[in-house]
Amino acid sequence: MGQHLMTHKVSIMRRWMEPPPKGQEGQPIPKHLWPRRRKHVWIVRWFAQGPGGKIMRPARTFSDRNEAEVFRAQKMAEFERAPQQRKVQRRVTLGDFIVEFVQLRTGPRGQRLKATSLEASRYCLERFASYAGKGTQLVTISPAIAVRFISAIREGDSKKRPSPATVNRLKRTLRAAFSVAVSPLGYIRENPFLGIRSDRVAQPAIRYVSPTEFTALVEAARTRKDQADLWWESFLTVCYTAGLRYGEALNLTWSDVDFEGDEITVSTKTESEHTLDWTPKDYENRTIPVPSETIALLARLQQNCRKGHAYVFLPLDRFELIKAAMKKELWPEGRNMINNFNRGFRSVVEHAARQAPSLIDKSGKPTVSIHDLRRSAITNWSRFANIQTVMKMAGHSSVGTTQRYYAAATQDQLDLIREASRAAVLVGQPRQSDPKVTQNGVSGVEKPRRYAKKSLSDKELRP
């Protein structure tokens, strides 16, 4: 059943509460005399949609007609302000909505989600459906059901109990998914997850890659035994100085590099003979100034690149493989563009840990990731540029994201805090001076009480 409009009519009627009155001779009196001698009330009625999409006709009773007329006018004005309330919602099950949501979010640009985000949304919806039931009608899902589901997840098996951060991510994902059911689909009027707030959790410290650690990574990349040393050195340097995301770096083409202006541009790519279809996360192009050393390193890498190949870090043979797989519709969106990338990065980190032990933990696992290089670049920018500029260069939609997840407290800044505290303490301390210079061998600040000028008594102050 599709959506259709309910009538916006709000009716008012009189209801008699007693049988018709009779005259002195026992005969019914004329109808025009009933209102004065027969008890009655005024009822206002309108159409509304109840649980499960059932059409209902609520009513309200008034003893005075003027009060009923005022309420009727208010109800009419309410329907005029919110015409959506006059629509009968389509009876769609939760399972049908999940299917339609996935189809919508794999549609054209502006509506579709990235492959990883879509998979996360589908997983959360399926998990909720396993609790509420796929056959449950969407209009019957109330905020109470949403709250009970979150409580069940939070209080689950003690061995597999999710962290507060995981529960918050589940809330955000379901809130965003059900907002689609409100608009543009119009299956429900209110989002059942809208009022469920995120739990307060401690934010993990931002991993900042210091210049010393970065130097160790670059040195480790240079001394690799394979032929990828210049590739890794260039890749790490671009991520650390341009603050690129992993996907942005792999989709970088030589036309995005301004060798004369020392700039790198993150730009949308359209499918062609030499490029793959790709869009930045924020759907906006941005140009980032980088050090001349980064440009010089890319110039060296370009000399070893196959002529006519457009990509900086995506090898030609890998590009041709992806291109052929896409043509046959065998390349799933979100698949890693580089084979064994994580293994190669871990090899570089383990080698660099000989010079910078902080790059690995006690078990030998890396303490840094490629994304930490981006965070570190943004942190470095924030020490010199204003936060609005840093946000734009990072490709963030809000300053809050930049401040919360990417601006780390670096050691040199912590040292400045320590020095500021030390200076404040020293200002409050007595000034030390040379006893030989001060009168009687005592500093002016630390002069004993016997040398201080005697205060005048009340008697001495009298005229």
What pLDDT does 82 receive?
Answer: 67
Residue 182 in this model has a pLDDT that exceeds 70: yes
Long-range contacts of 7-11 (CB under 8 A, 24+ apart): 7/47, 7/86, 8/76, 8/79, 8/80, 8/86, 9/46, 9/47, 10/44, 10/45, 10/46, 10/72, 10/75, 10/76, 10/79, 11/44, 11/45, 11/46
User: Where does residue 260 fall: left (phi above 0), alpha (psi -120 to 50 degrees), or beta otherwise?
Assistant: alpha
pLDDT exceeds cutoff 80 at 100: yes
Q: What is the pLDDT of residue 448?
A: 46
Per-residue pLDDT, averaged over 50-60, amounts to 72
Q: What pLDDT does 87 receive? A: 58
Per-residue DSSP letter, 207: -
Better-scored residue on pLDDT, 393 or 459: 393
Which of 60-64, 244-248, 403-407 holds the top average pLDDT? 244-248
Extract the tokens encoding 361. Answer: 């933990």
Give the Å distances, CA to CA, from 298 to 310, 436, 445.
13, 66, 63
**DSSP notation for 246-274:** HHHHHT-BGGGEETTTTEEEE--B---SS
Give the residue with greater pLDDT, 440 vs 423: 423
Between 298 and 187, the higher pLDDT residue = 298
Residue 429 has pLDDT above 70, yes or no: no
C-alpha dihedral sign at 266, 173, 374, 401: positive
| pLDDT tier for residue 411 given thresholds of 50, 70 and 90 | confident
Q: Give residue for tokens 């930045």.
A: 280
The answer to whether 242 and 236 are in contact (CB under 8 A) is no
What pLDDT sits at residue 226? 58
Task: Pick 74 or 462 by higher pLDDT.
Answer: 74
Give the rounded percent of residues in the chain with a pLDDT score beyond 90.
46
Q: What is the C-alpha to C-alpha distance for residues 317 and 305, in angstroms, rounded to an integer?
A: 12
For residue 442, the model assigns a pLDDT of 45
Averaged pLDDT, 327-356? 89
In the block, residue with structure tokens 């056959």: 135
- DSSP letters, 410-424, are -HHHHHHHHHHHHHH
The predicted pLDDT at position 98 comes to 93
pLDDT band (50, 70, 90) for residue 294: very high
**Measured distance CA(402)–CA(185) in Å, rounded:** 33
Query: What pLDDT sits at residue 50?
Result: 64
- Asked if residue 437 has pLDDT above 70, the reply is no
Tell me the pLDDT band of 451, cut-offs 50, 70 and 90: very low
Most confident among 129-143, 398-412, 438-452 (mean pLDDT):
129-143
Residue 170 has pLDDT above 80, yes or no: yes
Output the average pLDDT for the chain. 84
Q: For 359-372, write each residue's pLDDT tens digit.
A: 999 999 999 999 99
* DSSP three-state, residue 4: strand
How far, rounded to the nearest angstrom, does the alpha carbon of residue 250 sit from its chain's CA centroid?
24
Mean pLDDT over 110-119 rounds to 77
At residue 134, the pLDDT reads 93
Q: Which amino acid is at 147?
A: V
Kind plus residue range of the DSSP H or E element containing 216: helix 211-222
Classify the C-alpha dihedral 394-398-399-404 as positive or negative. Answer: negative
Q: Which pLDDT value is given to residue 203?
A: 76
Q: What is the mean pLDDT of residues 136-164?
A: 87
427 vs 161, more confident: 161
Q: What is d(CA 322, CA 341) in angstroms, rounded to the nearest whole number? A: 16
pLDDT of 84 reads 58
pLDDT at 89: 56
How much is the pLDDT for 142? 92
Q: Rounded mean pLDDT of 311-326?
A: 93
Per-residue confidence (pLDDT) for residue 443, from 0 to 100? 44
Is a pLDDT exceeding 50 seen at residue 216? yes
With cut-offs at 50, 70 and 90, classify the pLDDT of residue 2: very low
In the prediction, which pLDDT does 314 show?
Answer: 94
Residue 335's pLDDT is what? 82
25-34, 277-286, 436-445: least confident range? 436-445
Angle at 329 between CA 327 and CA 333, to 5 degrees: 110
**90 pLDDT band (50/70/90 cuts)?**
low
Residue 254 has pLDDT above 90, yes or no: yes
At residue 444, the pLDDT reads: 44
Bigger pLDDT: 178 or 117? 178
Which amino acid is located at 283 in the chain?
A: Y
